[in-house]
Structure 1
C-alpha cells in the first residue's frame, strides 16, 4: 500500500516542487565564476585505508559558529582548494592550485536567512516526508536516474559522463582514507534479469534490492578530495569542504545533472531543495525528499529534509529558469553532508547540512570534470 501511495502521489509532489508560480519565474543567477588551476603536482605519501566510512558527521560548530568564523584569506583559499587525488592503483598525488578572478570581498557578503530552531527528533523531523521511488519508469528516468550508490554505503549524483559528486567523508574520514576507498565502486540501479539473485555479487555489503532491480557496479579510476576537508590542512570547520569527485573507469551512458552555483535560499523556488539517495533504513530503494531550506552560511545550507545515513553524498538540486538557454533546468547546487550533531555547551543540537557549491567550488569541480577552465566560466 505504501508503494502504491508513493507511486500515485509522487508525480503530484514533483509537479508542486518543480513548477513555480505563474506570476514569478525564478531564474538561475547569471555570474562569471573564477578560475581554479593546478600549479604544481607532487607524489604524496602512501595512503592508509584504516577505518570504515562514517555515514554521520559530527562537528563542534553550529550555524552561528560558522558565521562568526574568521574570513579566510586568499592564501587560505588556495590551501583549502588544493587537493589530493587517489588513483585506483593506490598512488596518491597532491595538487597545489592558483585562484584567478575571484573577489575576496564577496566572502563578506554571506546571505542572511532565518534562524534554524533545533528539533527534538533525530534525522526524521516530525512526520517522515520521504518517498521511495518505485517502478522502472521513475527509477530509470531523469532526474532519479542520476542518483547512484557508493560501495562504502553513501550516495552520489552523476555530474558528467564519467563523474560522480559525493561527500568527502564517504571516502576519507579527515585523517585517512576509509576501508574500501582504494577499490571504490559506484552502483547503478538497473532491471534485474530473470534468475538473477536478489543480492548483488559485488563487495558492496551485498545490498538487497527490489525483485525487479539490481545494482550494476563500475570501478572508480580516481578520486579528488579538497585539502579543506583533510584535518591538519584546514581550519577546525572542515565541514565547509565535505565534497569529493569520483572519475569512473568507463562512461555510464546515462544523462547527468549539470552543476550550478548555489543561489541564496531566498532565490530558490519556494525556498525548497530536493535530493534523492539510498537511505540505509530502506535497503535497495531510492528515496526522494524535498523540504524548505533554512539557515545558511557562505559555504553551508541547513535544512530539515528527512534523511537517514546512506543518503550522505546525495546531490542537492533545484529547478529554475535558464535565461540564456530559455528553458527550465535542474542543477546540483550542493552535496548533502548528512545529519550533524553539535554539542553546544553540553546541550546537543542537530541539523541536516548540505555543502553549497560556491563559485570557487564550482570552478574547481568543473575543472576536475572538464580539464579546461574555459568551459567553466559560466556558473
Structure 2
C-alpha cells in the first residue's frame, strides 16, 4: 500500500485537481471515423453455454507477430466486424455489416506503423495498485463507472444502459461461457451500517455490496470468435452489454485511441475487481511501452478479474473547451508469448480504433450520424 501523501496526490490527479502546464494541453486528436452499418441479420442455433469462463487471455502471437500480420482486406474487415447478438432468453443472431467511408490506403499506412521499441515487463516486490475505499470515492466519477460482470470480469459504464467489457468474459472463442445465459452486472453500493452502542467503527473501511441488473443482450464481434483460429482474435477482444433497465449513474464516453506518444505522460488508467482483492475496486495507472494498430502493451499491475476494465485517459476536447475522460481501450489481461525460446509476459489492452469506435457507438446509439465524432 502506498504512503498516505502519495495516495492523496494520486487521487487528486484522478479527480482532476492537478493542473497541467498553462500553455501545453494534451488534446484529443481529430479522428476520421468511418460508418459501420448492419446489413443482414439471421437467426443462429441457440448456444449450449458449455465453456468455462477464463479470466486471462493466452496467445503465442506477441507484438512482432501482430505487426507482421497482413492488413485485412475490405471484405475481411466486414467479416471481422460482423457480430453475434446473444439475448437474455438464450436466442442468438448473427449480423453482417457494411463499412463506408473507410480509406484503405490510410488504414494500410497506419496499421503498418511499427510503434515504439518494447521494454521488457519487470515488476519486482512493489505492488503499484491502489484499493479504493470509502463511498466518497467509490460512488463518484470516475470510479463509479466500474462495474462487476457476473462471469468474473470487470466492465465500464459507457451509456445509460450499456457496459463495455472483454469478449473473453462472454465467449471463449469456441462457445459461450456457462454464466453468459443469465448474465448480470453488479453495481457497488454501501451496506447499511450496523448499529453498535458499545463500539465505533468509523476507522474501518465501509462495507460494500453489489446491486445486480440483468443483461438484455450482448454483442460480440466475429473477429473474436473467428480470429482465435489465426491469432488475431485478441485484436477484437471486446463486447458490449445492454442492460434491461437504465443504471442512473454517470458514465464515461468511448473515444478513438490516440497513439502512445499523444497520451498525457504516455500513461493510461483503469480500475477493476482483481480477484486477489475480493470486494475491492482496484485502481492503477502506468506508461504504455509499445503499441500496434490494435493493441497497447503496458506494465500496469493487474490480476485476473480486472480484464474487461475500460482503459481511459483525460485530455482536452478543443471543440467543447473542457477536459474529458474517455475510454480508449479494454484491458484484455496477461499475454504469455514464446520469444527466443523464453516465455515472456505482457499486459495487453485492446485499442478502440476508428472502425471499432464506429461499431461500438452504433451498438449504443443505433444511429451512425451520432457516431462521427471519435
When normalised by structure 2's length, the TM-score is 0.92
Match of 1:246 among 230, 241, 247: 241
* Runs of 5+ unmatched residues, structure 1: 197-209
- Answer yes or no: is 1:301 the counterpart of 2:296: yes
- Answer yes or no: is 1:161 the counterpart of 2:160: yes
Compute the RMSD of aligned alpha carbons. 2.1
Match of 2:120 among 102, 114, 118: 118
Match of 2:90 in 1: 90
Match of 1:37 in 2: 37
Q: CA deviation at 1:112?
A: 4.4
C-alpha distance in 1, partners of 2:227/2:25?
Answer: 44
Cα distance change of structure 1 residues 7 and 270 upon mapping to structure 2, 3 Å threshold: closer
C-alpha distance in 1, partners of 2:372/2:319?
Answer: 14
Q: CA deviation at 1:212?
A: 2.4
Match of 1:223 in 2: 218
C-alpha distance in 1, partners of 2:29/2:101?
Answer: 18
C-alpha distance in 2, partners of 1:18/1:375?
Answer: 32
Is the partner of 2:270 in helix, strand or coil? strand
Q: CA deviation at 1:180?
A: 0.4
Is the partner of 1:309 in helix, strand or coil? coil
- Answer yes or no: is 1:183 the counterpart of 2:208: no
Q: How does 1:68-87 map to 2 (within 5 A)?
A: 68-87=68-87
Match of 1:349 in 2: 344
* Runs of 5+ unmatched residues, structure 2: 196-204
Match of 1:55 in 2: 55
Cα distance change of structure 1 residues 105 and 261 upon mapping to structure 2, 3 Å threshold: same
C-alpha distance in 2, partners of 1:355/1:182?
Answer: 25
Match of 2:324 in 1: 329
Is the partner of 1:152 in helix, strand or coil? coil
Cα distance change of structure 1 residues 190 and 4 upon mapping to structure 2, 3 Å threshold: farther
> Aligned residue pairs: how many?
363
Q: CA deviation at 1:227?
A: 0.1
- Answer yes or no: is 1:8 the counterpart of 2:8: yes
Cα distance change of structure 1 residues 90 and 5 upon mapping to structure 2, 3 Å threshold: farther
Match of 1:317 in 2: 312
C-alpha distance in 2, partners of 1:19/1:309?
Answer: 34
Cα distance change of structure 1 residues 252 and 24 upon mapping to structure 2, 3 Å threshold: same
- Answer yes or no: is 1:373 the counterpart of 2:368: yes
Q: CA deviation at 1:15?
A: 6.4
Query: Cα deviations across residues 96-143 of structure 1 (Å, max 9, x unaligned)?
Result: 0000001112222234432223235xxx56521111111111001000
C-alpha distance in 2, partners of 1:50/1:178?
Answer: 6
- Are the counterparts in 2 of residues 80 and 233 from structure 1 also a CA contact under 8 Å? no
Q: CA deviation at 1:31?
A: 2.5
Per mean C-alpha deviation after superposition, the further-off stretch among 16-25 and 105-114 is 16-25
Cα distance change of structure 1 residues 16 and 293 upon mapping to structure 2, 3 Å threshold: farther
Cα distance change of structure 1 residues 232 and 326 upon mapping to structure 2, 3 Å threshold: closer
C-alpha distance in 1, partners of 2:136/2:359?
Answer: 34
